[in-house]
Structure 1
Amino acid sequence: MPLADRAALTCGRTRRAAAGRRDRLAYPGAMDALDRLAAELLRLPPSCGPVRLVAIDGHAGSGKSTLAGRLATALDTLHTGTATGPAPVLHLDDLATHDEPFAWTDRMLRQVIGPLSRGEYAHYAPYDWDRRRFGPLRPLPPAPVVLVEGVGAGRRVLRPYLARLLWMERGPEESWVRGRHRDGHELADFWDGWTVAETRHFTEDPSRPFADALVRECGEGYVRLPGPSVAAGAHQTITYRDGSPAAN
């Protein structure tokens, strides 16, 4: 990565007066870096009909939703010339359920991938985690870039439709501590079951070895590094030894 890009993505020391603003804004250097990433994504060839489908994967609690929101705003500003509203983001929490935390691929292919690949609006039914049932259909436009964020966004069945796979680089234990703190004691039992399910999923269907870029949160900014798929090369095979990826 060019030194300028790495420097711009490196964490800044600016402190916001209001802590609540941190969910919406990064410091200026980080936003410039997100603008560059957004510009790169817009230059990619479409991967799903007219859409460049970009996945943001990583462990639960790693910061995927925050990155997706900031990147969506950067994409919208570049595409329209003004911040009229963030680019479309599909949160996989809307497709998962209590009973099927990862068995949502059929819904994804039928409700989202199929229509987008034809250049049509997708309509998916978001799951209501409080009422434990699916809600009314929600539209998802075939925008130039559509972000898909959530655990398993880079899974095997979806990778053929992705223009890029970004991996939020934060370890599972640290991510889960963040997630538990965010959700409070009321969801402690849910998290106990989730960590087991997530570990099983990534053991059987890992995403990180196929990521085009690793994104690390640092203070109020991000550091972007080449992903394992770039380091391994297009014609090299990813294998595993003792649970660790290695390029052959």
Structure 2
Amino acid sequence: MPSRSDDPVARALTQAVARIADAVRAVQASNPVVLIDGRSGAGKSTLARLVAVQWPLRTEPQLIALDSIYPGWDGLDAGVERAYDQILHPHGRGIVGTWQRYDWEAGEYAESHAVDPARGVILEGCGALTPRTARVADVRVWVESPEGSRKRRALDRDGDVFRPHWDRWALQETVHQRRDDPIGHATLVVSIP
């Protein structure tokens, strides 16, 4: 079995975390906003968790996944709008935001979560980086990965739950990329094999 140093994905993630940590430090704020965007299976969630664990500031960040906000399989745009209205905009104004978790099984929103404007935020998920969200974010990351790798990781992770929705979700991702130009708004582009 190859060691972690021989794993190209682990190496790429380690390098990406270091670049993001440097960018967070360069902001010179106690409550920076980091957006991590990319297509399904690119490695956004893993990268966001690693950044949160290795956060370079004293106060730990608030990690929020858009997967917890999208209102179902056709909800990419609606989830991003809710995240902007309930998390990013209030945080940028220095007021407490409140977002609701979407219960995928019940098909409705559930409990609420507060967002402390004094702490940093890491918001990750497809659609996170738009012209509107870019204006209120300090570090903007686009994660690239080959389609074959992305699909394998996503289906290994979510299996039969995601498999029938892959094409439906991929279409929304494509619309987001064409309309919102997340790569053009990114301050960092990272590649995960």
Q: Check conservation: 1:55, 1:164, Cα contact below 8 A.
A: yes
Q: Does 1:30 align with 2:14?
A: yes
Alignment of 1:1-248 (within 5 A): 12-13=5-6, 30=14, 34-35=17-18, 37-45=20-28, 51-75=31-55, 78-80=56-58, 87-98=61-72, 99-217=74-192
Q: Check conservation: 1:169, 1:214, Cα contact below 8 A.
A: yes
Give the superposed CA RMSD: 2.8
* Largest Rg, 1 or 2: 1
Structure 2 residue runs of 5 or longer lacking an equivalent are none
Question: Identity, % of aligned pairs?
Answer: 27
CA offsets, 1:175-200, max 9 Å, x none?
Answer: 12321232112432122311222222
Q: Check conservation: 1:59, 1:176, Cα contact below 8 A.
A: no
Instruction: Identify, as 1 or 2, the structure richer in helix.
Output: 2
Q: TM-score scaled by structure 2?
A: 0.82
> Equivalents in 1 of 2:176, 2:89: separation in Å?
24
Q: Check conservation: 1:87, 1:143, Cα contact below 8 A.
A: no
Q: Which amino acid aligns with 2:156?
A: H
Q: Check conservation: 1:59, 1:171, Cα contact below 8 A.
A: no
Counterpart secondary structure, 1:79: coil
Higher relative contact order (CA 8 A, sep 6+): 2
Counterpart secondary structure, 1:165: strand
Q: TM-score scaled by structure 1?
A: 0.66
> Equivalents in 1 of 2:5, 2:82: separation in Å?
40
Distance 1:137 1:128, change over 3 A: same
Q: Which amino acid aligns with 1:93?
A: D
Distance 1:40 1:105, change over 3 A: closer
CA offsets, 1:150-202, max 9 Å, x none?
Answer: 00111122111111211112134431232123211243212231122222221
Superposed displacement of residue 36, structure 1? 6.0
Structure 1 residue runs of 5 or longer lacking an equivalent are 1-10, 15-21, 219-248
> Equivalents in 2 of 1:37, 1:184: separation in Å?
30
Q: Check conservation: 1:91, 1:150, Cα contact below 8 A.
A: yes
